[in-house]
Amino acid sequence: MTTTPYPLTPTTKHGARRGLLALATLLLGTASLAASAQDKDDELTLIVPPWPGVTVKSEIVARILAPLGYDVERQEVSSTVGYNTLTTGDSDAFLAGWLPAQKDSYDAAMAAGAITDLGNNVTGARMGFAVPGYVYEAGIHSAADLAAHADQFDETVYSIESGSTVSDMLNGAIDNDVYGLGDWDAMESSTPGMLSEVRAAQREQRWIAFYGWTPHWMVPEFDTHILADPESVFGPDNGASDVKTVVRTAYAEANPNLARFLDQLVFSSEEQSGFILDYSLKERDLDEVAHDWLAANPDRLAEFLADVTTRDGEDALAAVKASL
C-alpha cells in the first residue's frame, strides 16, 4: 500500500488536501515515517528566479526554517534552468511553478519522475483584462462590458511585451472581434511602461483597460480588478493560474518533515500581492519584509507549521516565534 511521507491528521489543513494525490505516490512505508522523524537533509536549495513574489516567499521560508535547524540556499536561475536542476538533483524545490506558462518544462520534469507537485502555494492567481477600482465601481465587471464604453476607454487596451503569449492572446481577441473589440488597439510596452500609464490614468481618474494579473503589487496599489472573461481569452476559468510548489521527488521522500511544511505553505493572492508591494514598489529590505509578514500573521504561521517539528523533533512553532 502506498502512503504519504508523513501521517495525514485532521490538523493538516491546506496541505493534506492539496498534496494528497501527489504525495500518496511518493513511497512505500509505514507509520514510522512520521513527520517527527529526523529528515535526512539539513539544507534546502530553492530555485529563485528574479521575480519579487518568489523572492519574498523564499525569504519567508528561510526565516521559518533557520530556527528549525535547516539552512536554505538559493539558486538564482530562470524557471527553465530550475526545472533542469531539479531533474539533475542540483536543487530541491521551486515555489513559483506557474502553469500553464511553464507547462513544457514542468511536463518534462514530471515525465522523468524527477518532481512531485505539492499543489498551489497561492490561491486566487489570475490574469486577464483589468481596470482600476473606480472603473470597476462604475459597473465594468466583465470584458463583455468594455465595448459599450469604447469612447471612455479610447478603444485601447494597454498590455506588455509585444510577441509574448499574453500579446498573442490579446491580439487574437481583437483580430477575431471577441467582446466587440475588433476596432480597438493593443498598446504594448514593457511592464513598467504599462503600469506608468495606469498610474497616470488613476491620478486623473481617467478610464483605462489593461492587462492585469494577480498576485502583483498593481492589485493593492491601483485597487486593480481582473474582469470576468467568459470567452476565455486569457484561458479557462477566467484566466485562473496555478502557482505550484514543486519538489524533487527523492528529496521529498528523504525529508518528510520538510515535505509536510512545504505542502502546507499556502498564501492568498492578496497576501502575496501585499508583500510584493512592500518589496518591489516600496523597495523595503527583503529580510524586513519577510520578518514583518511573519510577525503580523501568527495564525498563518501556525497553519504552515501544523504537525511540523524542528529537525531534532522539538516544537517548530515555538522555535520560530522565539526567533521573531
> How does pLDDT run across 89-146, given as a tens digit for each residue?
999 999 999 988 788 899 999 999 999 999 999 999 999 999 999 999 999 999 999 9
Q: How far apart are CA 322 and CA 324, in angstroms?
A: 5
Residue 11 has pLDDT above 60, yes or no: no
Instruction: Give residue-wise pLDDT tens across range 178-224.
Output: 999 999 999 999 889 999 999 999 999 999 999 999 999 999 999 99
- Asked if 54 and 297 count as a contact pair (C-beta separation under 8 A), the reply is no
pLDDT score recorded for residue 164: 75
Q: Other C-beta atoms within 10 Å of 76: how many?
A: 13
Residue with cell 511592464: 191
Q: How far apart are CA 266 and CA 78, in angstroms?
A: 22
Mean pLDDT computed over every residue of the chain:
90
| Three cell numbers, residue 31 | 507509520
Residue 16 has pLDDT above 50, yes or no: no
- Asked if 316 and 305 count as a contact pair (C-beta separation under 8 A), the reply is yes
| Three cell numbers, residue 56 | 519574498
Alpha helices in the chain (DSSP H): 14-23, 52-65, 79-88, 103-111, 133-137, 165-175, 191-204, 218-222, 236-239, 249-254, 256-264, 269-276, 286-296, 298-304, 316-323
Q: How far apart are CA 121 and CA 269, in angstroms?
A: 9
Q: How far apart are CA 31 and CA 34, in angstroms?
A: 6
Q: How far apart are CA 27 and CA 252, in angstroms?
A: 10
Q: How far apart are CA 323 and CA 214, in angstroms?
A: 31
- CA dihedral (170, 175, 179, 185) positive or negative: positive
- Asked if 89 and 250 count as a contact pair (C-beta separation under 8 A), the reply is yes
Listed in sequence order, the residues at least 6 apart from 154 whose beta carbon sits closer than 8 Å to its beta carbon are: none
pLDDT score recorded for residue 37: 55
Sheet containing 156-160, strands listed edge to edge, beginning at the edge strand earlier in sequence: 185-189, 156-160, 209-214, 126-131, 225-226
* pTM exceeding the 0.85 threshold for the entire prediction: no
Who wins on pLDDT, 196 or 34?
A: 196
| Three cell numbers, residue 293 | 509578514
Q: How far apart are CA 63 and CA 50, in angstroms?
A: 19
Residue 14 has pLDDT above 50, yes or no: no
Helix, strand, coil percentages, rounded to 5, for the chain: 45, 20, 35
3-class DSSP assignment, residue 160: strand
pLDDT score recorded for residue 23: 55
pLDDT score recorded for residue 38: 81
The pLDDT confidence band at residue 159, using thresholds 50, 70 and 90, is very high
Domains present along the chain, CATH in parentheses: 2-124+241-323 (3.40.190.10), 126-239 (3.40.190.100)
